């Protein structure tokens, strides 16, 4: 049965990192399955607006992408004004959706899909539900109260408690909630979410096999330069490598609000073995990952249950092993043990991190084995078609 879906996805095509590729893929799949979608998204700007100037003047605020109607909302550039400015952007998004709903700017939906990097998005979905009777499916990519606590963005216990109450309030008025890991499900239940929660992983597709290059040995970080990654914790490792293992080259690839500060930090530390590189185009992304022998997947302390780094699955799909920094028993640690694709090191264990990285890079056979384990895990457990069909089943029930 064909359904009309209002798709509230702040991050969407043509953005190529973070949640946007997954939000876009699911929208394309649902449209291809015969449903009618109207997406409301920010003007593309993540991790920076530099590559999206064609959208910045608002001339493309109404457009069509693969038969999906897309409406854009103006946004301040990421990293400008910090947390307060991000909240203003989220409020601007909610107001825009509510205004469009009240003015009848989109067809009466059967289903509203609301993505949470911002819980405020769900308020707009609930207004549409009130007006139309639509079912609300909320997909949680980030648990904001947990991230705010872990990253020190909000330190006042009253503010953190208020954030939790807002999250539980709107989630309990959603008809279904989707999270990425069992850890995220547990955290939502802790703050009082009683709506049905489905755990559905993000997906990946194995890339063509490529031999692991060992001349020179290259260690890579590829992704967003943001607070969730806490890239500062990589400095002791990389500085020690520059002093003791000059044969290992380091590439830090990506962009984000923290990049300039991280570059300065490395320069001030006298690091000489590291090359900083920008994001690469999507058609060059997998080859860029395969140019490294080993990848780093850092995460800030206590963040693991509130957000999952999507870069990890791209690394596994590319057939490359990784060393991640996360607490024992966290979703990252569990995934690493299940897949056999990498090594998990506890935050703050600088010697353990150095040993994990150097021991792997010195064993080509182990690099290849873990790289192949990752590709196999992606193929067997993160099959895109299977996961898309799970979402299709949820839409069918709505």
Residues 103-162 have pLDDT tens digits of 999 889 999 999 998 899 999 999 999 999 999 999 999 888 877 777 676 677 888 888
User: What's the pLDDT at 154?
Assistant: 67
Contact indicator for 47, 78 with CB cutoff of 8 Å: yes
247-250 long-range contacts (CB < 8 A, ≥24 apart) are 247/216, 247/217, 248/216, 248/217, 248/218, 248/219, 248/273, 248/357, 248/358, 248/361, 249/216, 249/217, 249/218, 249/219, 249/273, 249/275, 250/218, 250/219, 250/220, 250/221, 250/274, 250/275
User: What's the pLDDT at 168?
Assistant: 96
Same-domain pairing of 247 and 191: no
Same-domain pairing of 283 and 323: yes
Beta bridge partners of 220: 251, 295
* 300 pLDDT more than 80: no
Answer yes or no: is 24 within a domain.
yes
Contact indicator for 72, 42 with CB cutoff of 8 Å: yes
Same-domain pairing of 336 and 192: no
pLDDT digits (tens, 9 = 90+) for 365-395: 999 999 999 999 999 998 899 999 999 999 9
User: What's the pLDDT at 330?
Assistant: 86
User: What's the pLDDT at 144?
Assistant: 83
Same-domain pairing of 70 and 193: yes
- Helices marked H in the chain: 20-32, 53-56, 82-102, 120-132, 144-150, 157-171, 182-190, 235-244, 259-268, 282-290, 311-317, 331-339, 350-361, 364-381, 384-397
User: What's the pLDDT at 79?
Assistant: 58
Answer yes or no: is 208 within a domain.
no
Distance of CA 50 to the CA centre of its chain: 20
Same-domain pairing of 120 and 230: no
Same-domain pairing of 292 and 369: yes
Tokens encoding 352: 């353990």
Structural domains in the chain (count): 2
Same-domain pairing of 144 and 42: yes
Taking the CA atoms of 231, 233, 237 and 242 in sequence, report the sign of the dihedral they define.
Answer: positive
Average pLDDT of 10-15?
96
Same-domain pairing of 277 and 251: yes
- Domain limits at 374? 217-381
Answer yes or no: is 336 within a domain.
yes
Same-domain pairing of 199 and 67: yes
Answer yes or no: is 263 within a domain.
yes
Same-domain pairing of 322 and 221: yes
What pLDDT band is residue 183 in, cutting at 50, 70 and 90? confident
The larger pLDDT score, comparing residue 177 to residue 48, is at 177
pLDDT digits (tens, 9 = 90+) for 304-337: 666 677 789 999 999 999 999 988 888 889 999 9
The larger pLDDT score, comparing residue 24 to residue 81, is at 24
Q: For the chain, what percent of residues have pLDDT higher than 90?
A: 71
Answer yes or no: is 251 within a domain.
yes
pLDDT digits (tens, 9 = 90+) for 25-39: 999 999 999 999 999
| CATH number of the domain encompassing residue 303 | 3.40.50.2000
Answer yes or no: is 145 within a domain.
yes
Tell me the backbone φ, ψ of residue 270, rounded to 5 degrees. 75, 25
Answer yes or no: is 302 within a domain.
yes
Residue 141 to residue 184: CA distance in whole angstroms: 9
Answer yes or no: is 209 within a domain.
no
pLDDT digits (tens, 9 = 90+) for 262-298: 999 999 999 999 999 998 888 899 999 999 999 999 9
Same-domain pairing of 32 and 166: yes
* 81 pLDDT more than 60: no
Same-domain pairing of 304 and 231: yes
CB atoms near residue 293 (< 10 Å) = 24
């Amino acid at each position: 049965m064909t359904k009309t879906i209002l798709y509230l996805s702040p991050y969407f095509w043509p953005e190529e990192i973070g949640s946007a590729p997954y939000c876009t893929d699911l929208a394309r799949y649902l449209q291809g399955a015969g449903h009618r979608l109207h997406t409301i998204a920010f003007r593309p700007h993540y991790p920076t607006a530099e590559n999206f100037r064609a959208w910045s003047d608002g001339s493309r605020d109404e457009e069509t992408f693969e038969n999906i109607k897309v409406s854009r909302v103006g946004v301040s550039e990421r990293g400008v004004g910090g947390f307060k400015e991000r909240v203003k952007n989220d409020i601007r998004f909610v107001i825009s959706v509510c205004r469009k709903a009240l003015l009848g700017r989109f067809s009466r939906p059967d289903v509203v899909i609301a993505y949470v990097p911002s819980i405020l998005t769900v308020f707009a979905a609930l207004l549409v539900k009130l007006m139309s009777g639509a079912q609300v499916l909320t997909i949680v990519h980030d648990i904001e109260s947990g991230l705010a606590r872990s990253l020190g963005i909000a330190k006042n216990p009253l503010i953190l408690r208020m954030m939790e109450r807002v999250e539980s309030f709107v989630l309990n008025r959603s008809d279904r909630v989707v999270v990425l890991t069992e850890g995220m499900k547990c955290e939502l239940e802790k703050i009082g979410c009683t709506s049905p929660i489905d755990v559905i992983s993000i997906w990946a597709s194995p890339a063509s096999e490529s031999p692991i290059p060992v001349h020179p040995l290259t260690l890579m970080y590829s992704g967003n330069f943001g607070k969730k990654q806490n890239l500062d914790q990589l400095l002791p490792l990389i500085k020690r490598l520059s002093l003791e293992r000059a044969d290992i080259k380091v590439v830090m690839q990506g962009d984000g609000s923290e990049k300039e500060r991280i570059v300065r930090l490395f320069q001030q530390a006298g690091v000489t073995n590291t090359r900083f590189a920008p994001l690469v185009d999507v058609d060059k992304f997998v080859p860029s990952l395969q140019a490294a022998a080993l990848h780093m997947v850092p995460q800030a302390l206590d963040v693991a249950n509130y957000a999952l780094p999507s870069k990890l699955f791209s690394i596994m799909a590319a057939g490359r092993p990784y060393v991640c920094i996360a607490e024992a028993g966290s979703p990252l640690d569990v995934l690493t043990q299940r897949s056999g694709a990498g090594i998990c090191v506890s935050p703050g264990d600088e010697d353990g991190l150095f040993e994990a990285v150097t021991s792997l890079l010195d064993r080509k056979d182990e690099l290849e084995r873990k790289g192949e384990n990752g590709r196999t895990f992606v193929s067997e457990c993160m099959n895109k078609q299977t996961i898309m069909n799970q979402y299709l089943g949820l839409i069918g029930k709505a």
